[in-house]
Structure 1
Amino acid sequence: MDVEQNPIVMDGAVGKDEKSNTARSLSKTEAIEHSEHDLLHEENVDTVLAAKMTLINDTIDEIGFTPHHWKLFCLNGFGYAVDSLILLIQSITAGPAGMEFQPGFKTGLTIAVYVGMLVGAIFWGFSADIIGRRFAFNFSLLVSAIFTIVAGASPSWITLGLFVCLSAFGAGGNLVLDTTVFLEYLPGKQQWLLTLMAAWWGLGQLIAGILAWGYLPHYSCADASDCSRANNQGWRYIWYTAGTLVFVLSILRVTIVRLDETPKFLLTQGKDEHAVRVLQTIAKRYNRPCSLTLEHLQALGQTQNHSTTRAGLSQRLFSPREVSFHFRGLFATRRMSLSTLLVWSSWLLIGLAYPLFNVFLPTYLASRGANFGQPSAYITWRNYTLNNTSSIFGPVLAGFMCRSGWFWGRRGTMIIGAIITMVFFFCYTQVRTASENVGFTCAISFCVNVYYGTLYAYTPEVFPSAHRGTGNGAAIGFNRIMGIVSAVVAAFANTETAVPIYICAALYLLMAIIAAVFPFEPFGRRSS
């Protein structure tokens, strides 16, 4: 987003009226009382920051939803798609690459991709609260694109694992930053779009399935005893094509919208003037009202964590005290502590359940296909593509459920998604025909993403803006840790049996119970 480097217009801004003026002239006490629509208004320790955040939320609501938000919906959605794309093509290409390289540890690529995503989530997530959201938004996809392309040229299993890990490192921060950036620009009434944005995750899975369906049946060796680079190019073509796509998406990110820092992040850093300028520029570009001025924010006082009272940037980047500060902010009150622990627990559980089924789904499909007399690679990857297509529509349904609030808001949507997923998992163990196999895997993929898409949106909504990157990064980091565990489990267990499916079903039941006791419900409330 282009931000003009002109001084703040102090007398008002674009199209203000008497009602807006009154709202913007609230005292600190009045602003706190006016913050009843903000989700964490009763949990704020820094009353000045809470008052300023209320004015920022009021201003974002005043500006309303603009074409700028649609651009962010797509550009941040790219990160969702790339995260799932890298994760899935790793699982798709591990088999053909393993036939060529004959590794001693066959699930090594799964561990590599989750290690990369773990480090990426922690690095990009924590840095988002220290140096801002803009840097990761602009460069994370480019890092991923470079190593995704290079991975296709890997001469050995270890080298492939290294480049897969580095590619995942770039992609791993997107789930942290994409939800954070989009949320911090959204008006309160449109926060349900954060759930809908998870449909991009399904699109990334679909692209992975299409690439596998297109390349692997025609460019893969059939026998490990006669498998060389010359007759096994399919998995390399997948990495080359995916890397090129990610590179194009990374260029679009920095050309369509030249993103500035989010107003809420700027506010937490004491950069009130910059925050006002960002909002006034959006309002001016789309001819929307914006009554907020720098004077209104400065009249409320100075926040406790003003950047001028802390160490310089170079020191803060590597400071344990800085990281500790943001972790403590997630446990500022009893309700916030409970919320943080329950959200992280949910990510831990789905971090185990999701890979046990989705990452190892090719193994299930291949074994089931053999049982049903459909052993061909073409049928396996066709079914895989159909399954991934179904995953797109889960977040679409979840988004409209969250918007309507008919089902107890975000929490109810997660409960319904998790319970129905559990039911379909149990039903899947009774599949006896090829048609049932395809139908139930598609149904599971759809229902899983009703829950998963809502959890993606719920997580940043219930964290305070000053510590949102840290909380979100830690949540997804826990998810990646369990992904590593799932790879170890798969290395020593038989993933062709129904046992992992029963485990997944039990895990989703536990996730539904946790969702029922979440202390915060974002429906009808604004994030801080």
Structure 2
Amino acid sequence: MGSKEIKGVDDVEGGSHDASSLETGNFDVLQQEHIDPVLNAKMYLVNNAIDEIGLTNYHIKLFILNGFGYAVDSLILLIQSIIATQAAYEFNPSYTRGLTIAAYVGMLVGAIFWGLAADIIGRRFAFNCSLIVCSVFAILAGAAPNWIVLGLFVCLTAFGGGGNLVLDTTVFLEYLPSQNQWLLTLMACWWGVGQLIAGLFAWAFLPNFSHDCISIATCTHDNNKGWRYVWFASGALVFVMSILRITVIRLKETPKFLLSQGKDEEVIETLQFIAQTHNRTCSLTLEKLQACGKTTTSHSKSRLPFRDVLIHIKGLFATRRLGLSISLIWISWLLIGLAYPLYHVFLPSYLQSRGAKFGSGSAYTTWRNYALANFSSIWGPVLAGFMCTTRLGRKYTMVIGALVTMAFLFAYTQVRSEAQNIGFNCAISFALNIYYGTLYAYTPEVLPSAHRGTGNGIAIAFNRVMGILSAVVATVANTDTPVPIWICAALYVVMAFIAIIFPFEPYGSRSS
């Protein structure tokens, strides 16, 4: 949106920008892209209205309820890896990494499906349904009679949970006042909460209910119920979360999605509802929105859904800078999706070949250390949220997070004792989540609202593809060589460089 267009918006407002916009010095991050002048003008007015209402209890509830989705995503991914060994002892499969691939395939399909659904059907439907699907199949996974059925339920569980990283950032962002957008980065702390819960479940159940199951020869259904209890507990927890999502807050469709669909009346109803419920003012009226013109809907006239998909993908490349931005974002998700899991696949064998000794090796010690590392991961996004509010912005917060993670990963190859192992694990979990948490927030912030679910979903899908690849590579490659470890750590340097050349910096601006 150029100066002429901004003037047009001022005319609609009946004067200059409102106080909240002047106070924060904000402008819409994509307003210079000239994607759709009418939608840009309306988005500007809606952003002003959201800033005028400010942060309310509604947003705090959204922070928690959307955070559940973050936690579930990491919980499901870790649960399948935690229980894989014990389940394999019982079922003796021919391909032991099958659960990892099943989980990532489910996450991949889930990210694409729920991401597209968020743009085509709406955010509300996906928000209300995804965790229920996840919880049902998580409980069924605990009752699986064989390896193949377990893999199927793991895949379906991951499908239900796999879209939450797309949905949660999108829903929360599209309600947030601009001065509070840093909360989107902070919300990634829920990822660490999910990891911590997974570690605590493993610590509670596996040492106590699977301690006699240490090999295929010694393992039976009766002495190996720990991994099943982990699934039952996880599924029950996710089910409670899904019920809370429906009962604690009856989510209305986000105003920015409604705006992209040309539903101006519903935009006003939603904003006025929030304002009146929390005793805030909202001066935006239907007449002001309609004075901007008629919004072109992002839906096709055809009943075929793939036409809508093509419209949303094309919208991500509407301008050269938008195309460059989404391409670099997708590359970043590819790189982090390969570097982190592959490093941790190769590292144990590498350290063992170098004579590293990690104490007693008991199940209790293993899961205690696991819980400590996951607890540390909670605080990376907390620091990142603060860093994003400084002149570092999102881009240089990611640069620092990636480079510090790289340094710790290189140093980790010299670990030789249990204390060093715990310390470096905690440090890496902390530093990595500075980068990861900021990337999670940055991705939806620089996407146009009409295509946000699609762009975000494809980004997460690229990440899942690399997770599948890492499992395949770990199966066929030599895990004693240090070369993959050095390559993975070096990838963080590439990620830092890409963050520097991102064309948009959301700091001091508002999502479009």
TM-score normalized by the length of structure 2: 0.93
Task: Write the deviation string for residues 192-234 of structure 1: whole angstroms up to 9, x where unpaired.
Answer: 0000000000000000001111111122202221211111111
Please name the residue that 2:74 is paired with.
84
Paired amino acid for 1:161: G
SS at 2:29's partner residue? coil
Please name the residue that 2:3 is paired with.
none
* Counterparts of 1:226 and 1:103, CA distance in 2: 15
* Counterparts of 1:460 and 1:334, CA distance in 2: 18
Task: Choose the corresponding residue for 2:195, options 205, 210, 234.
Answer: 205
Distance 1:369 1:115, change over 3 A: farther
Task: Write the deviation string for residues 290-335 of structure 1: whole angstroms up to 9, x where unpaired.
Answer: 001111111111012276xx437xx2xx422211110011001111
Please name the residue that 2:98 is paired with.
108
Task: Write the deviation string for residues 466-492 of structure 1: whole angstroms up to 9, x where unpaired.
Answer: 000000000001111111101101112
* Counterparts of 1:105 and 1:156, CA distance in 2: 13
Task: Write the deviation string for residues 352-371 of structure 1: whole angstroms up to 9, x where unpaired.
Answer: 12222457888889999983
* Counterparts of 1:190 and 1:252, CA distance in 2: 24
Contact 2:123/2:254 (<8 A) preserved: yes
Please name the residue that 1:452 is paired with.
436
Contact 2:346/2:485 (<8 A) preserved: no
Paired amino acid for 2:195: Q
Please name the residue that 1:356 is paired with.
342
Please name the residue that 1:463 is paired with.
447
Paired amino acid for 1:301: G
* Counterparts of 1:515 and 1:418, CA distance in 2: 9
Of 341-350 and 318-327, the range deviating more from structure 2: 318-327
Matched, 1:54 2:41: no
Contact 1:398/1:454 (<8 A) preserved: yes
Paired amino acid for 1:138: N
Distance 1:369 1:439, change over 3 A: farther
Matched, 1:418 2:402: yes
Contact 2:395/2:500 (<8 A) preserved: yes
How much does 1:509 deviate? 1.1
* Counterparts of 1:371 and 1:30, CA distance in 2: 63
Alignment of 1:220-259 (within 5 A): 220=210, 221-259=213-251
Contact 2:355/2:416 (<8 A) preserved: no
Matched, 1:126 2:116: yes
Structure 2: gaps (5+ residues): 1-8
Paired amino acid for 2:45: L
Alignment of 1:343-492 (within 5 A): 343-357=329-343, 371-405=357-391, 407=392, 409-492=393-476
RMSD value, Cα: 2.3
Paired amino acid for 1:263: P
* Counterparts of 1:517 and 1:448, CA distance in 2: 20
* Counterparts of 2:208 and 2:384, CA distance in 1: 37
Contact 1:366/1:380 (<8 A) preserved: no
Paired amino acid for 2:120: I
Please name the residue that 2:173 is paired with.
183
Of 247-256 and 208-217, the range deviating more from structure 2: 208-217
* Counterparts of 1:524 and 1:243, CA distance in 2: 40
Distance 1:59 1:361, change over 3 A: farther
Contact 1:27/1:300 (<8 A) preserved: no
* Counterparts of 1:210 and 1:359, CA distance in 2: 22
TM-score normalized by the length of structure 1: 0.90
Task: Choose the corresponding residue for 1:275, options 264, 267, 273.
Answer: 267
SS at 1:403's partner residue? coil
Distance 1:133 1:508, change over 3 A: same
* Counterparts of 1:202 and 1:362, CA distance in 2: 22
* Counterparts of 1:251 and 1:188, CA distance in 2: 29
* Counterparts of 1:127 and 1:363, CA distance in 2: 41
Please name the residue that 1:195 is paired with.
185
Of 197-206 and 432-441, the range deviating more from structure 2: 432-441
Contact 1:24/1:292 (<8 A) preserved: no
* Counterparts of 1:306 and 1:344, CA distance in 2: 22
* Counterparts of 1:213 and 1:36, CA distance in 2: 47
Please name the residue that 1:261 is paired with.
253
Contact 1:209/1:388 (<8 A) preserved: yes
* Counterparts of 1:496 and 1:178, CA distance in 2: 39
Please name the residue that 2:5 is paired with.
none
Distance 1:358 1:71, change over 3 A: farther
* Counterparts of 1:70 and 1:100, CA distance in 2: 44
Contact 1:369/1:380 (<8 A) preserved: no
* Counterparts of 1:361 and 1:256, CA distance in 2: 43
* Counterparts of 2:386 and 2:223, CA distance in 1: 47
Task: Write the deviation string for residues 23-45 of structure 1: whole angstroms up to 9, x where unpaired.
Answer: 683389999x9997110001132
Distance 1:449 1:306, change over 3 A: closer
Distance 1:480 1:42, change over 3 A: same
Task: Write the deviation string for residues 168-207 of structure 1: whole angstroms up to 9, x where unpaired.
Answer: 0000010000000000000001000000000000000000
Q: Which 4+ stretches in 1 moved above 6 angstroms?
A: 27-31, 33-36, 359-370
Paired amino acid for 1:424: F
Task: Choose the corresponding residue for 1:523, options 504, 507, 511.
Answer: 507
Matched, 1:284 2:284: no
Matched, 1:322 2:308: yes
* Counterparts of 1:343 and 1:416, CA distance in 2: 17
Paired amino acid for 1:441: N
Contact 1:24/1:296 (<8 A) preserved: no
How much does 1:372 deviate? 3.4
State the identity as a percent. 65
* Counterparts of 1:211 and 1:353, CA distance in 2: 27
Paired amino acid for 1:466: A
Contact 2:351/2:413 (<8 A) preserved: no
